[in-house]
Amino acid sequence: MMEIQLKLNGRPVRDSIDADTLLLDFVRAHGCASVKRGCETSNCGLCTVLLDGKPVLSCSVLAARADGREVQTLEGLQAEAEEFVRFIADQGAEQCGFCNPGYVMNTIALLRENPDPTDDEIRAYLAGNLCRCSGYEGQLRGIRAFLDARNQAKEGN
């Protein structure tokens, strides 16, 4: 057993863990149900969290690597996510909803890094998210609609 301390969604968390505990299991054990176990091969994006502001696949990161760092999940980013999730829903891209947390986490990271991405940059950033329902175009249309509405609002001010 080892003890780690980190900031999870803005609150300090200290816990004893086994050395092989995955970050995915750690955050879920601390109430973050949005982080999902999907493929367990780092290919689907369902387990995406932000580690010091950068998206990582928590199924392939040991919790010990987050010691002394900041981890954010969708539970801690609701206000930021609310800005654009309805645009994704308006495009019918939330059919089953299982992949949404991973898409939202990666979109937040993308927009923080690049506030005005091209469609190709959006596709490239979201390429690691598996969606079996929508074919990805709905998510792209939703993000583009959000960006267009945000740009129109800026021009109107």
Inform me whether the pLDDT recorded for 134 exceeds 70: no
Kindly state whether residues 93 and 151 are assigned to the same domain: yes
Residue length of the chain? 157
Kindly state whether residues 31 and 95 are assigned to the same domain: no
Last residue of a domain, one of 75, 90, 124: 75
Kindly state whether residues 62 and 86 are assigned to the same domain: no
Cα–Cα distance for residue pair 157/154, rounded to 1 Å: 5
Last residue of a domain, one of 75, 108, 127: 75
In total, how many domains does the chain have?
2
Structure confidence at residue 117 (pLDDT): 94
Last residue of a domain, one of 75, 104, 125: 75
> What angle separates helix 137-156 from helix 78-90, to the nearest 10 degrees?
110
- pTM for the complete prediction? 0.87
Cα–Cα distance for residue pair 104/106, rounded to 1 Å: 5
- What is the band of 157 on the pLDDT scale with cuts at 50, 70, 90? low
User: Half-sphere exposure of 133 toward its Cβ, with a 13 Å CA cutoff?
Assistant: 12
Domain with residue 70: its CATH number is 3.10.20.30
Kindly state whether residues 89 and 19 are assigned to the same domain: no
C-alpha dihedral (77, 10, 27, 97), degrees to nearest 10: -10
Inform me whether the pLDDT recorded for 70 exceeds 90: yes
pLDDT in tens, 75-90: 999 988 887 888 877 7
Question: Which residue range forms the structural domain that includes residue 25?
Answer: 2-75
| Range in 7-11, 44-48, 152-156 the model is least confident about | 152-156
The amino acid at 87 = F
Kindly state whether residues 46 and 82 are assigned to the same domain: no
Domain with residue 121: its CATH number is 1.10.150.120
